[in-house]
Amino acid sequence: MPIFGKDPFAEDREASPTALEPEDDEASQGGRYGFDEPPRGAGDRTLHDRPGGEAGPGEPVEAGSTGTGGVETGQQGGGHHDHGDPSEMRPVEEVRAMILDRIRPLTPIELHLQEAHGCVLASDVVAELDIPSFSSSAMDGFAVRASDIARAVSDEPVLLRVVGRAPIGRTPDVTVGGGEAVRIATGAPIPAGADCVVPIEQCIVEGERVHVLQMLPDGANIRPSGQDVRAGRILVPAGRRLSAPELGLLASSGHASVLVHPRPRVVVLSTGDELVEPGRPAPYGMVRDANSYTIFGALRDTGVTPFIGGIVRDEVEELKDAVLGLTTRADAFISSGGVSVGERDVVKKAFFRRGEIDFYKVAMQPGMPQGFGLIEDTPYFGLPGNPVSVFVSFEVFIRPALLRMMGRRDIFRPEIMAVVEDDISGPRSRLMFQRVRVWRERGEWRAASTGPSASNLLSTVVRANGLAMVPVGMETAPAGSQVRVMLFRALEDGS
């Protein structure tokens, strides 16, 4: 069993560690300063570009070198010291269950098949007709009666009279009688009277006559009507994510649109007076906003519609304006920074009359401080400021919640047991997530740390494909021991 949550291998899909399901699609690209689709609620507000800070002289500070968007108590420097009272910390599984309990799938809408790709079907789609709707030829050749060629061999071929042609896309206007044949193309409807098709390779044509060199049974080289799906059967069941095969089957049955749970539209905000936008000069002591783009990429990978809302200063009114101006156009908000002790007042003061945001310490490293609640019924996720904490928190809490909003049933990442190459240590009172690279060797999974555990070292995530988990109560998983690893991307993706 996994350390927390439900074992994803027990879900509806077959989760393969070597071929994780791709979830990104062209329709979920989102935008920088505008939504790609009209609002689903009332209101006509737009999001304004928030400048990331004034340009000025000084040395740039690399993203994540001191954390982005706020300080994460107990995480700065990435040590293993317990800065939180264990009695005040909530277990990871408890917090995640609490969040998921407050998340509901989005109201279904009708979307064209092109727009529905990647969405989850909200109701069963039933075949109204047989697929295919008519019997057709599987080969180029001649439609004949099997009884006429029952004695045909290469040394003594059977001679038949060619009485017509069965083209593709038309109803045949000839009938195959005894001793007769009709020239037919692959995919053309079978003419009346014929019960098999002789491939052209087994025929010798002489004008209006054809010599058949091989006997064939009744039904040979014929695709019968309803061979794929019979009328009245379920084409695609509710709860299925629509990918290439589902779209093709729905299209072949004549469905141009389907009822699906739409992709959540998620606004990403970074809070902090020290932040500047990427591409702008960063005066000494300022930090470029890496978190917005980390979250944006994670949202795209999840298949939702992300929207970068920009940098918000540590001002109550500015945060309130940024969020409340978009509640009718967003299905969820994610902010990074401003959830640690002493910083959360900005968020609480901004929304105490509009919703309920809870802040708590989670028994995990990285990512101990967290915030979650509803602002006018819209989920609001408050993440820590350090970039690795942002990534891990997204994987543990936000990704499953968004997949549930999309109507997905398989909401957890696949997990494996792997032998660790290095000692992995963390606070005994917290669930430790260590970035690792996983590979298969001699019939077993192996995992190696990609660097120090400091929560500001985002490059360790770039080199990783999994998160090794050292459970609460264990301070060190020694090299050579087995630990559970959550895989967050396919192993062949640059691993």
pLDDT tens for residues 152-211?
999 999 999 999 999 999 999 899 999 999 999 999 999 999 999 999 999 999 999 999
- pLDDT of amino acid 10: 40
The answer on 386 and 271 residing in a single domain is yes
Helices (H) and strands (E) in the chain, counts: 9, 30
Per-residue pLDDT tens digits for 323-333: 888 888 899 99
- pLDDT of amino acid 65: 35
The answer on 306 and 379 residing in a single domain is yes
The answer on 392 and 271 residing in a single domain is yes
Residue 400: CATH number of its domain: 3.40.980.10
- Is 98's pLDDT higher than 80? yes
- Is 6's pLDDT higher than 50? no
The answer on 324 and 181 residing in a single domain is no
- Region 380-404: what's the mean pLDDT? 96
Q: Which residue has the higher pLDDT, 361 or 41?
A: 361
- Is 9's pLDDT higher than 80? no
- pLDDT of amino acid 273: 87
The answer on 375 and 249 residing in a single domain is no
pLDDT band (50, 70, 90) for residue 20: very low
Q: Does residue 419 fall inside a structural domain?
A: no
* Token pair for 252: 């072949």
- Region 303-309: what's the mean pLDDT? 94
Name which of 366, 420, 399, 287 is nearest 79 in CA terms.
366
pLDDT band (50, 70, 90) for residue 395: very high
Q: Which residue has the higher pLDDT, 20 or 281?
A: 281
Least confident of 140-144, 295-299, 339-343: 339-343
- Is 494's pLDDT higher than 60? no
- Region 393-417: what's the mean pLDDT? 97
Residue 184: CATH number of its domain: 2.170.190.11
Q: Does residue 456 fall inside a structural domain?
A: no
Q: Which residue has the higher pLDDT, 324 or 151?
A: 151
- Is 11's pLDDT higher than 60? no
Boundary-marking domain end, from 380, 405, 430: 405
Per-residue pLDDT tens digits for 431-458: 999 999 999 999 999 999 999 999 999 9
Looking at residue 10, what DSSP letter applies? G
Peptide bond into 245 cis (omega under 30): no
CA distance linking residue 238 with residue 225, whole number of Å: 25
Residue 253: CATH number of its domain: 3.90.105.10
Look-up of token digits 């409807």: 189
What contacts 39, CB < 8 A, 6 or more positions away?
Answer: 328, 329
CA distance linking residue 74 with residue 402, whole number of Å: 28
- Region 20-35: what's the mean pLDDT? 40
- Region 413-433: what's the mean pLDDT? 95
Name which of 330, 479, 492 is nearest 419 in CA terms.
479
The answer on 271 and 359 residing in a single domain is yes
Which amino acid, 37? E
Using only the alpha carbons of the chain, give its radius of gyration.
Answer: 30
- pLDDT of amino acid 17: 40
Mean pLDDT of the chain: 84
Q: Does residue 171 fall inside a structural domain?
A: yes
pLDDT over 90 for what percent of the chain? 68
pLDDT band (50, 70, 90) for residue 57: very low
Q: Cα–Cα–Cα angle for 303, 371, 408, nearest 5°?
A: 30
pLDDT band (50, 70, 90) for residue 83: low
Helices marked H in 283-367 — which ranges?
291-302, 316-324, 345-351
H or E stretch including 240?
none
State how many domains the chain has: 3
The answer on 239 and 204 residing in a single domain is no
Instruction: Give the global pTM.
Output: 0.78
- Region 257-282: what's the mean pLDDT? 93
- pLDDT of amino acid 36: 40
- Is 63's pLDDT higher than 60? no
- Region 60-81: what's the mean pLDDT? 37
Q: Does residue 10 fall inside a structural domain?
A: no
Q: Does residue 204 fall inside a structural domain?
A: yes
Q: Does residue 392 fall inside a structural domain?
A: yes
Q: Does residue 189 fall inside a structural domain?
A: yes
The answer on 346 and 288 residing in a single domain is yes
The answer on 365 and 277 residing in a single domain is yes
The answer on 208 and 68 residing in a single domain is no
CA distance linking residue 178 with residue 194, whole number of Å: 10
pLDDT band (50, 70, 90) for residue 88: confident
Alpha carbon 459 to its chain's center:
23
- Is 459's pLDDT higher than 80? yes
Range of the domain at 206: 136-223
- pLDDT of amino acid 55: 33
Per-residue pLDDT tens digits for 212-238: 999 999 999 999 999 999 999 999 999
Q: Does residue 395 fall inside a structural domain?
A: yes
Name which of 433, 414, 420, 431 is nearest 491 in CA terms.
414
- How many CB atoms are located within 10 Å of the residue 383 CB? 30
Straight-line distance from the first to the last Cα atom of the chain, in angstroms, rounded to the nearest whole number: 26
- pLDDT of amino acid 217: 97
Least confident of 61-75, 119-133, 248-262, 411-425: 61-75
Q: Which residue has the higher pLDDT, 355 or 381?
A: 381
The answer on 302 and 251 residing in a single domain is no
The answer on 338 and 291 residing in a single domain is yes
